[in-house]
Structure 1
Amino acid sequence: MISFSKHQTNHLFKITSWMTFFFASQGITAQPQLNDLTTQVQIAIDNNPQVQEKWHAFQSSIQGTEIAESGFLPSVDLTASLGYQKQNYGNSDSFSTKSAGVSLTQMLYDGFETSNNIARFENVQLVRYFELIEQTNTTAFEAANAYLDVLKYKQLVAIAQENLNTHEAVYDQIKQGVDAGIARAADLEQITGRLSLAQTNILTEESNLHDVIARYIRVVGQLPPNQPKQFSISGSKIPNKIQSALHNAYLNNPKFYATLYNIQAQESLAQMSKSGYHPKINLTARYGIEDRDEFGFEEDRTEGRIAIELSYNLFRGGADKASVKQAYQEVNLAKDLRDQACREIRQNVQIAYNEIRIISTQLPALEQHKNASEKVKKAYKDQFDIGQRTLLDVLDSENEYFQSSRAYLNAGYDKLASELKILTEMGQILTALAVTQNELPSVNQLTNTPIKFDPGSACPAYDINQTIKSYYQQPKAIAITEDKDSDMDGIKDSIDLCPNTPKDEQVNSKGCTQFKNETVSVDIKIPFSSNSATIKQQYYLEIKKLADFMEKYPETVVEIQGHSSLDGDAIYNKQLSEQRAFAVAQVLTTRYGINPTRVRAVGYGIESPKIAEISSRANAINRRIEAQVSTQFKQALKK
């Protein structure tokens, strides 16, 4: 049993100050002047790498839209060359040549490829926009949760420290009594054990505090404030009905909107992929100058040309058709992601809303328990001092107060966390925490046609609590119908596992045919080629007969036995017979659906020949498959 002196304990449990020194030595410093939640969440959003990643992805999508729009503008190219040429014709066999030219290409028609590409990038831009908002909300939720946990575990450490102080005080009192000879040594042993437990409790809480501070640094990027302020969420921000919470979530959740715009982006891509079936029409113009003609004579020549050019692909190896099919599969994928987002939102809102409801109901009782435990603790301590209570009574009351205080504190913070979750799913956490993002545009600034939809049809809401209540309602009386014996085997239909058994067969208590206790071997006429385990298609009927019998009598089992001729190596023949038996068993189970647990395959090789000789006739007969029926297999008992 581990125990610490009071002097050791006071040094051991100053973990908060130690952690502050440790993190400061690593270059991580706290900012105690910024101790409110809003400021800390703002710092997290401004510095969190995941938010920065989504921000740069959004900025990149803006450039993608501008790239797509350039398809409507002409392309102007300037070319120039200075070279040395050798040839075996014309005026000179070697000479220097210079040329320059400018060309213009203006797209007139491209099968709506450019317009659909612009529409796609505009929707991709909106996808990135809502993904940025989603990550911002998620980071705000994580930062607020981390802030809450720091607050909670600081208070839990304080509660554990108070519990430890009480145990130490009782320990000192008992020890003085034992030293003076007026208290029992057993009491000292008992308080020593309880003191060790109290010391373990505070170690646990301080370890938890260490972990939440580490998580806080990951999310926010710095140490939490030394004295974080308490905060609460106004009850008016949480809808009073689950249907309202779900409705607000569907209308405002950025993740859901990202999936909706992603569908539109993929649909634009599908339309864009159809441009391969259309001709391309371009306006082209060119003007050029060169200092020699085609024969090498030194002569300045100029050339100008303007034309409307049409190109129409007749065959591309099926690429256009495959591109269209691929694009529509991407549309289906985007719709699946939308449905998944809908379900996740619905689940998160329903769980968080129910937690708020349950905890709100529990909190008054937990507070009453905590207050009553505190009164009992004080009363028992006073009564112990005058000899009316035992040490065990005092320690039990102290531990009950400790546990009730922890339960009340945890419930309060759990309720706050669920409220934050609801606000996050409804896209309102930044507003609730008074956090602003000045650099972010609004949806109307990015598109003239924002998506509008009916949440009721897009994501149907379910009130789970009403469904649960219906489970406890008295079920309607079920009409009792006569239990017949349709196959007249003496077993009622309700418990008959083998209906339609023949009238003259004896059945067991389950209505299934009983069999004689005997073993019968049945040849399955499947001839195999020499050195082969392949079953030819025309011989499947032999296996099907066995399968039909086993379907009719589900209690039967079979051992498929493979045998080989005496000709050849014995070891090889045994392996070959195993392969043949396995091939038959595999057809029986995979093709005809017999449960593999009812089928066993064994190879016997040359061990059991039907004719003990090596000849063409004997080899053909010995190379066989037998079905070894079990004790239940062959013949049904008659009544």
Structure 2
Amino acid sequence: MPVKRFHFLAALSLLGSFALCPAVSAETLQEAVKRSIESNPDVRAVAHNRLARDQEVKQARSGFFPTADVEAGAGKDYVAKPFDEDLEPWQVRLGLRQNLFAGFSTMNEVDRQKARVQSGAWEVQSTADNTALKTSEVYLEVLKNEAILKLARENLTLHERIADQIRLRSESGVDRRADMDQIQSRLNLARSNVVVTEQNLLDAQTNYLAVVSHMPAQLSRPEVDEQLLPANLEEAEEQALAAHPQLRSANADIEARRKQDEVAKSPFMPTVDFELDQLYEEDTNYSSYYDEDKEREDLRLFLRLRYNLFNGWKDVARKQETFELVNEAQEIRNHTHRQVIESIRLSWRAHEAAKKKVEYLNQRMQFAASTASAYTKQWNIGERTLLDVLDAEAERIDAARQLTTAEYEGLYARYRILNGTGRLIPALQLAWPEEGAVDGENPPAQAEEPQPEPTRVSLNTIKVQ
């Protein structure tokens, strides 16, 4: 009796533990992208770089403010002439400096750092959008390989069922021994295909783990609204050139280099400073030794102009350097322009090809299914062999596998187009990371019907491991 009671309580506690375990919920593509962006080191790195550039703007603005300094010192002075006595001098100076003119260097440096902040913000958007595309790729790869594994197992079940029937017919003398050998060969191939597809799924899950930082669980197939895609290739190119964040970052880099070139002009102009000094000292000047009151107190006001006449051609070389840096930034922008056009054209062509493939493979699938059904009926009346039925069913499963592959390729091509136009994150109803906010930028126009509030992606809550 105690033993039964013990087993009953153990079973009850086990059921209770299962009841308390949270159910594994399906993960949508939007959720996977959000988690991926929050934890991706590349996104976090460019976000920190963007925040660092904010501080560089503050550093540049410091040139608009005065500087205040305090100097104090005390020591021992062993004097031999003009008198023989040891002194103990001390000095305190309070200084204030305010630059009034520096060849517009401060203003241009502030503008340069602001342009670098804009460039960094666009870089955050570009990296986040590329991370979203990579997440979409591994997400779809898991779903595709799960579907292909299901077909491979269906194919194996079909081979096993027909192999059993042929074995019975061979043992009874109805079928030839060669048919049995053939089905065994094909059965082993089907088993091998299951092993291969299982390995492909494990690889896809590992890639998912590397990108999203956790294993996939109950993924759901996403769909892309065709209204989000451009109407044609020309419109896709226009959208890419107008909104691709990598290209906009390159344009901001050019502006930063131009402002740097303006800063390099400032050494060719004079600087004007206002200086105020309050001085307290004793025994620092020998002439005061003969005064009864050896302490000295001065207040000095200066308007000081400085103009360099020769600096070993350093400033000339610096100006030429910044000129070449502007040209470098322009060539980088031109290279980025080419990459953006190449990417959107390849993505669009892949999208068009996938649509045609899916159309043809759908027709193939229908004919293969019809053929398989007809062969089964014909075998029932003795007009077909089991190997004929197996061939037809294998053709149907292969058609389903190719159709599945083409459908996921087409789906990924749509995400590539959205990424190529810089709109993948908004298309997933996600907001850009806070560090990707760009001053003076309006959000892209949305459809007339109300849209759900975008999910905010924040990197501030990420803890460094």
The TM-score with structure 1 as length reference comes to 0.62
What secondary structure does 1:309 align onto?
Answer: strand
1:205 to 197, 207, 210: 197
One-letter code of the match for 1:147? Answer: Y
The answer to whether the Cα contact below 8 Å between 2:125 and 2:432 also exists between their aligned partners in 1 is no
Aligned pair partner of 2:177 in 185, 188, 212: 185
Among 424, 427, 435, which residue is 1:429 paired with?
424
2:283 matches 1:292: yes
Residue 260 of structure 1 corresponds to which residue in structure 2?
Answer: 251
CA–CA separation in structure 2 for the residues paired with 1:441 and 1:351: 27
What CA RMSD, in Å, does the superposition of the two structures yield over aligned residues? 2.2
2:67 to 72, 75, 86: 75
Q: Which amino acid aligns with 1:253?
A: H
Partner of residue 348, structure 1:
343
Matched-pair contact (CA < 8 Å) for 1:293–1:299? no
- How far apart, in 2, do the equivalents of 1:157 and 1:360 lie? 24
Asked if 1:280 corresponds to 2:275, the answer is no
Change (3 A) 1:59 1:288: same
Q: 1:164 to 1:309 in 2, by over 3 A?
A: same
Task: Give the C-alpha shift of residue 345 in structure 1.
Answer: 1.1
1:31 CA drift (Å):
8.8
Give the C-alpha shift of residue 187 in structure 1: 1.3
Identify the residue that residue 188 of structure 2 maps to in structure 1. 196
State the alpha-carbon separation in 1 of the partners of residues 63 and 277 from structure 2: 19
- Closer, same or farther in 2 for the Cα pair 1:445/1:102, shift >3 Å? farther
Superposition deviation, residue 97 in structure 1: 3.4
Number of equivalenced pairs: 417
CA distance in 2, matches of 1:201, 1:252: 45
Query: Superposition pairs for residues 4-23 of structure 1, below 5 Å?
Result: none
User: What do the CA deviations read for 1:384-433 (whole angstroms, capped 9, x no partner)?
Assistant: 45542234423322332222111111111111111101111112111211
Alignment deviations for residues 574-596 of structure 1 (CA, whole Å, 9 cap, x no partner): xxxxxxxxxxxxxxxxxxxxxxx
The letter of the residue matching 1:312 is Y
* CA distance in structure 1 between the aligned counterparts of 2:174 and 2:281, rounded to whole angstroms: 121
**In the alignment, which residue of structure 2 is the partner of 1:357?**
352
Q: Secondary structure at the match of 1:227?
A: coil
Unaligned 5+ runs, structure 1: 1-29, 448-639
The question of whether the paired residues in 1 share the 8 Å contact of 2:51 and 2:435 is answered with no
For 2:281, give the aligned amino acid.
Answer: E
- Local SS of the residue matching 1:344: helix
- Listed as ranges, the matches of 1:30-69 within 5 Å are 32-69=24-61
Is the CA contact (8 Å cut-off) linking 1:34 and 1:40 kept in structure 2?
no
Deviation at 1:445, TM superposition (A): 4.6
Cα shift readout 1:505-531 (whole Å, capped 9, x = no counterpart): xxxxxxxxxxxxxxxxxxxxxxxxxxx
Displacement, 1:442? 4.3
In the alignment, structure 1 residue 104 sits paired with structure 2 residue 96: yes
User: Aligned to 2:303, what secondary structure does the other structure show?
Assistant: strand
CA distance change for structure 1 residues 85 and 397 in 2, over 3 Å: closer, same or farther? farther
SS at match of 1:443: coil
Residue among 260, 266, 270 paired with 2:261: 270
| 5+ long unaligned stretches in structure 2 | 1-21, 443-465
Q: Write the distance in 1 (CA, Å) between the matches of 2:187 and 2:205.
A: 27
Secondary structure of the structure 2 residue equivalent to 1:313? coil
Structure 2 CA distance for partners of 1:384 and 1:203, relative to 1, 3 Å: same
Q: Distance between the aligned counterparts of 1:299 and 1:445, measured in 2? A: 62
What is the percent sequence identity of the aligned residues?
27
Equivalent-residue separation in structure 1 for 2:343 and 2:122 (angstroms): 19
The offset of 1:357, in angstroms, is 1.8
Q: Greater CA radius of gyration, 1 or 2?
A: 1
Change (3 A) 1:341 1:294: same
Q: 2 CA distance for matches of 1:411 and 1:441?
A: 35
The answer as to 2:107 corresponding to 1:126 is no
Tell me the residue number matched to 2:330. Answer: 335
Alpha-carbon distance, 1:43 to partner: 0.9
SS in 1 for 2:89: strand
Which of 363, 369, 375 is 1:374 aligned to?
Answer: 369
1:200 & 1:429 partners in 2: Cα distance?
38
Report the secondary structure of 1:444's partner residue.
coil
Q: Which has the higher contact order (CA 8 A, sep 6+)?
A: 2
Tell me the CA shift for residue 382 of structure 1.
Answer: 4.2
Equivalent residues of 1:284, 1:307 under 8 A apart? yes
- Shift in Å at residue 330 of structure 1? 1.0
> Cα distance 1:306–1:385, how it changes in 2: closer, same or farther (>3 A)?
same
The CA deviation at 1:91 is: 5.2
Alpha-carbon shift at residue 112 of structure 1 (Å): 1.4
| 1:371 Cα deviation from its structure 2 partner | 2.2
Query: Out of 213, 226, 242, which is 2:233 matched to?
Result: 242
C-alpha distance in 2, partners of 1:403/1:84? 98
Could you tell me how far 1:359 is from its partner in structure 2?
A: 2.0
Q: Secondary structure at the match of 2:69?
A: strand
Structure 1 residue 380, shift from structure 2 partner: 2.4
